[in-house]
Structure 1
Amino acid sequence: MDRLSGLDASFLYLETPAQLMHVCAVMVLDQSTMPTPYTFAGLQARIDESVHDVPAFTRKIRGVPLGLDHPVWVRDQQFDIERHVHRVAVPSPGSYRELMDLCAHLAGLPLDRSRPLWEMWVIEGYRPDGAEGDEKVVIFSKMHHATVDGVSGSNLISHLCSLEPDTAPLALGEKQTHPRDPDRRELLGRALIGLGSKPVTLAKVVGPSAQMITKSIARARQGVAMAAPFSAPRTSFNGTITAHRSIAVADLSLDDIKRIKKATGSTVNDVVLTLAGGALRAYLDERGELPTTSLMASVPVSVRATSKRTQGANKVSSLFTKLGTDIDDPLERLEIMAERNRHAKEHHNAISADALQDWAEFAAPRVFGLAVRTYANLRLAEKHPVVHNLVISNVPGPPVPLYFSGARIEALYPLGPVFHGAGLNITVMSSAGKIHVGVIACRESVPDGDALVKHFPVELERLNDAVAALV
């Protein structure tokens, strides 16, 4: 029996009609490299061949009687690729704007929980340069956060992609074990055993957590702690969200970012966060909304290498960092960002890698879901101090070009979920010499994502010029 971890299940409980917990991606394909000419039926058949025996794509959730424990994964015996891979055309004239509007609409639709929690929309007719440009095929993918985190989601690409146009996907042929479908009595029995052991588990978690809080207070007094939640300034994207989404994407040069990293002794993540801080500063300043204090981001951190847990799709923690939106000079912002990130990482490393996962085990399905719905209905995100302004994720991607069913992947833009109180998500992924920036937001909070994402290349140029002036 394959039970969801508490953290995986929490993403199910967090979901409401407005707060959708799937992660998305926009994949732009060049079908001219395909060994055989593109057809939707052919592409759908190749995807089916790649995923039909992979549990991550063919399992669905089954609830435990009375909601006494987290759900379990079971194999979908009626798995049908036509329920998951759909075909649609981008509206005329098929330019970037129409593509983003279509993707935003698809991102606002919930996944069907009676089936495996993923789907792909094959979008035809995209012409990035307008009516005269070459036509591209775009894949808009959605996968529930209960199934993947950033790293595991990136790894799943291997089941669909190859290193050459005419070779099989990287993981095709690997044998994997499908989850067993337990009967109702077994589910109920295991749930009752789990309930009985929770007091013992709680006792094991409380002690280390208390020590962690004590150490965090000491680090704060020394000025070497990560930024404290509930201390962020309020912005237009820090309120109750709706199901409407806006999406925008941009490309940056990875070589430029690495050059800045080397010249300043920082990290790629330091540079990315510095660019995000500059872009947010410019965006809010244009709208007359720039706070006098710095915005704060929640940054997911993979603990896959240090976690002692063997089960669960999500092995992540999170740290908080200020983005320097109160600093105009990009080089000064980078220097301060690098120092803050060092403190935040040291603080984060002092916390158990499994702390978030341990506490998530106590998320009661019915109580947790009711609390989330009450929080949304009462619009409490607008009434308490802002926890953090947005989520920023940096997902490592493939360093070499990949091919999806023989079509070269020209760009892969990741998109994370948005939350009540933090209606903006910026996710970046490195791939074959580029940094792909994906911005997704509640449309009522950020009506035009391009008004934000357009500042990323500008900020990179400003930082490049500032570093060049040092030489």
Structure 2
Amino acid sequence: GVSAMRLFQRMLSQDPEQRGMPPIWSLPRRSRSGDGDEGPSMWRNVAHLLGESGKQLGTVPAVTKALLNTVNRARKDPAYDSIFHAPRCVLNGKITGSRRFAAQSYDLKRIRAVCTAFGTTVNDVVMTMCATALRTYLMNQDALPEKPLVAMVPVSLRTDDSSGGNQVGIILASLGTHLNDAAERLRYIHEDVKASKQRYAAMSPEEILNYTALLLAPASFNLLTGLAPKWQTFNVVISNVPGPKEPSYWNGARLEGMYPVSIAMDRIALNMTLTSYCDQVEFGLIGCRRTLPSLQRMLDYLEEGLTELEQAAGL
């Protein structure tokens, strides 16, 4: 998502008078530093390969320690065990080829006001909005699991302005859908996400990548085959991609909004992606229309989730 957003922003300008701007599919390729100097060098390639191998081998101790800590905590804390066993849910059945896409904008000022009142982050609040929408939707379908739903939350590991390849870690966040109170749900999500971030704080990007790859290996096997239903590691994907903070233009035309369209797949029937633009947060929900009937009602439930938090904060 971050990679695609950076590519998209290359097409745009903050100058409304700029013209002659190509569309995203015709952008010139950026030359990489060192390209064209000596041509392909076998020794340079071998040195790069050995360097990358060394990085990967160097992650083994830290990754092993983090994984053991995770397993030990899951054994001692029943609530933490949801990381390995997300509840069975209608979100996680086989899907058809039918789709429903629903999109809506929300005022970032409203969300930030809730953040200030509760001492949380924007991401905590939007995840709570998603959790509330999921809880209400599944309750109306008489399909809300007793255990809290678990979200897979991609986290960008980029430290430069590149737009190629995937550099992403994963947080598995319990959404507190077993809680009736919206404010309590926000605090629950905030503490759960904070614990995941603390785990990554002492790890390098390579260590985070390998840790999440090992953590999600059983889930990936189940997604591909459906042969390990007890390893439903997460129920839904919630992704937050930061976008332009200033008004953007393309050949004089102002960008009014952007709505992310992601991917639904077997056993993950719903993807909730959002992006920020100026003073807006844009939600894009994509799901299987037959697995999740009336998916568009979740837009109303997102609004209800934000309103509940505003009322709890006295805003």
TM range, smaller chain: 0.7 to 0.9
CA RMSD of aligned residues (A): 3.9
The equivalences for 1:56-71 within 5 A come to none
Counterpart position of 1:210? 64
Report the TM-score, using the length of structure 2 for normalisation. 0.80
Contact 2:63 2:210 in 1 (8 A): no
Q: Is 1:258 the counterpart of 2:112 in the alignment? A: yes
Q: 1:403 aligns with which of 237, 249, 274?
A: 249
Instruction: Give unmatched runs, 5+ long, in structure 1.
Output: 1-149, 181-185, 363-367
Which residue of the other structure, out of 300, 309, 317, is the alignment partner of 2:169?
A: 317
Corresponding position: 1:450 with 2:296: yes
Distance in 2 of aligned mates of 1:359 and 1:465: 39
Q: Sequence identity, in percent?
A: 31
CA apart distance, 1:405:
3.1
* Structure-2 separation of matches of 1:165 and 1:442: 39
1:239 aligned to 2:90? no
- Please give the residue correspondences for 1:16-35 in structure 2 after superposition, counting only pairs within 5 Å: none
What does residue 206 of structure 2 align with? 354
Structure showing the higher strand proportion among its residues: 1
Q: How far is 1:360 from its partner?
A: 9.9
Rg: which structure is higher? Answer: 1
**Greater helix percent: which structure?**
2
Supply the AA of the counterpart residue of 1:441. Answer: G
Q: 1:432 to 1:312 in 2, by over 3 A?
A: closer
Deviation track 1:254-295 (CA, whole Å, cap 9, x = no partner) reads 100000101111110110111111000000011111111111
For residues 251 and 239 of structure 2, the distance between their equivalents in structure 1, rounded to whole angstroms, comes to 27
Deviations 1:316-335 (A, max 9, x none): 10011111111121111112
Aligned partner of 1:126 in structure 2 is none
Distance 1:415 1:334 in 2: 26
1:380 matches 2:236: no
User: Which residue is equivalent to 1:428?
Assistant: 274
1:158 alignment partner in structure 2: 9
1:84-140 Cα offsets, whole Å, 9 max, x none, are xxxxxxxxxxxxxxxxxxxxxxxxxxxxxxxxxxxxxxxxxxxxxxxxxxxxxxxxx
Residues 71-470 of structure 1 mapped to structure 2, 5 A cutoff: 150-168=1-19, 176-177=30-31, 203-217=57-71, 219-220=73-74, 228-305=82-159, 313-355=165-207, 357=209, 376=224, 379-380=226-227, 383-468=229-314
Change (3 A) 1:175 1:317: closer
Per the alignment, do residues 208 and 167 of structure 1 end up closer, same or farther by CA in structure 2, a change over 3 Å counting?
same
* Whole-angstrom CA distance in 2 between matches of 1:447 and 1:466: 30
Letter in 2 for 1:286: N
User: CA separation of 1:261/1:226 partners in 2, compared to 1, >3 Å: closer, same or farther?
Assistant: farther
Which structure's relative contact order is higher, taking Cα pairs within 8 Å and 6+ residues apart?
2
SS of 2:90's equivalent in the other structure is coil
- Cα distance change of structure 1 residues 418 and 351 upon mapping to structure 2, 3 Å threshold: farther
What's the CA shift for 1:296? Answer: 0.5
Per-residue CA deviation, residues 296-328 of structure 1 (Å, 9 max, x unaligned), is 1000011113x9xx9952111001111111112
Shift in alpha-carbon separation, 1:173–1:394, aligned structure 2, 3 A = closer
Structure 1 residue 424 displacement after superposition? 1.0
